[in-house]
């Protein structure tokens, strides 16, 4: 359900009843015994804050017009999980701050996300940092991090990206006719993980907690054939 409080503040609330099933990548094991399923019932409230942003509502779809002003998302969630003879309650708080803008030589954007999980929960309900799951470049995932490599109950991430208007490539003979754009990004993540979660369900060896902040830097070019980035 959605509600517009003001032209710049909107909220949506969702009730969920989710059943998780194990697989080879996400086994459900406790004390050497396999668990057949995990039930999660929760309620979440997400509020979106914007500042003078233009929107278009058409055919049951809302489109946001690109703006240079920041956008803020705040989410509060609470629920109850159950599996086998174990059950418990938990809470989550998370927030996202994002912005994009243009300057004389190009365009920049960034996104900061932070969150906290209260209470011990089975590991599938923890925060999985978004690692590389596909070959395509995604500005909001970590290109050198394996999928499900890091999990946390308290976390913060930073994604930044700078795209310039070919200030180097457009001055190279022949290559300048491709109309390429330079692109650079810096990404960072860190989080903590308490030991109480592993009491409920064994965390796979392929996933673990941070021992130090994770960061990566990339440079490349975009607008290849009008659509691709390298």
> Whole-model pTM?
0.87
Dist CA 5 CA 78 (whole Å): 22
The values of phi and psi at residue 14, to 5°, are -135, 130
Question: At residue 42, does pLDDT exceed 80?
Answer: yes
- 148-198 confidence digits (pLDDT tens): 899 999 999 999 999 888 777 777 787 777 777 888 999 999 999 999 999
Dist CA 64 CA 57 (whole Å): 9
- 106-155 confidence digits (pLDDT tens): 889 999 999 999 999 999 999 999 887 666 677 888 888 888 899 999 99
* Joined tokens for residue 92: 């989550």
Dist CA 136 CA 147 (whole Å): 14
- 62-88 confidence digits (pLDDT tens): 888 888 899 999 999 999 999 988 999
CA 111, 137, 66, 177: dihedral to nearest 10 degrees?
130
**Rounded mean pLDDT, 31-41:** 92
3-state secondary structure of 155: strand
pLDDT band (50, 70, 90) for residue 223: low
End-to-end CA distance of the chain: 40
Burial class (CB in 10 A: 0-12, 13-18, 19+), 159: buried
Give the model's pLDDT for residue 115.
97
Percent helix / strand / coil, the chain, rounded to 5? 5, 55, 35
């Amino acid at each position: 359900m959605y509600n517009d409080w003001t032209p710049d503040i909107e909220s949506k609330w969702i009730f969920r009843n989710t059943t998780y099933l194990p697989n080879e990548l996400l086994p459900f094991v406790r004390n050497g015994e396999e668990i057949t399923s995990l039930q999660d019932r929760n309620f979440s409230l997400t509020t979106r804050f914007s500042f003078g942003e233009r929107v278009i509502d058409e055919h049951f779809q809302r489109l946001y017009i690109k703006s240079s002003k920041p956008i803020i998302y705040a989410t509060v969630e609470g629920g109850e999980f159950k599996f086998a003879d174990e059950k418990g309650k938990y809470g989550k708080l998370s927030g996202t701050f994002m912005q994009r803008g243009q300057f004389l030589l190009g365009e920049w954007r960034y996104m900061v996300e932070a969150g906290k999980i209260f209470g011990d929960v089975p590991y599938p309900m923890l925060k999985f940092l978004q690692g590389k799951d596909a070959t395509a470049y995604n500005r909001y995932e970590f290109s050198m991090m394996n999928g499900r490599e890091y999990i946390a109950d308290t976390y913060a991430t930073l994604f930044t990206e700078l795209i310039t208007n070919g200030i180097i490539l457009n001055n190279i003979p022949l290559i300048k006719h491709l109309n390429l754009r330079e692109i650079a990004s810096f990404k960072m993540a860190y989080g903590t993980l308490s030991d109480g979660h592993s009491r409920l369900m064994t965390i796979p060896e392929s996933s673990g907690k941070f021992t130090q902040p994770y960061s990566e830097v990339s440079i490349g070019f975009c607008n290849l054939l009008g659509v691709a980035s390298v």
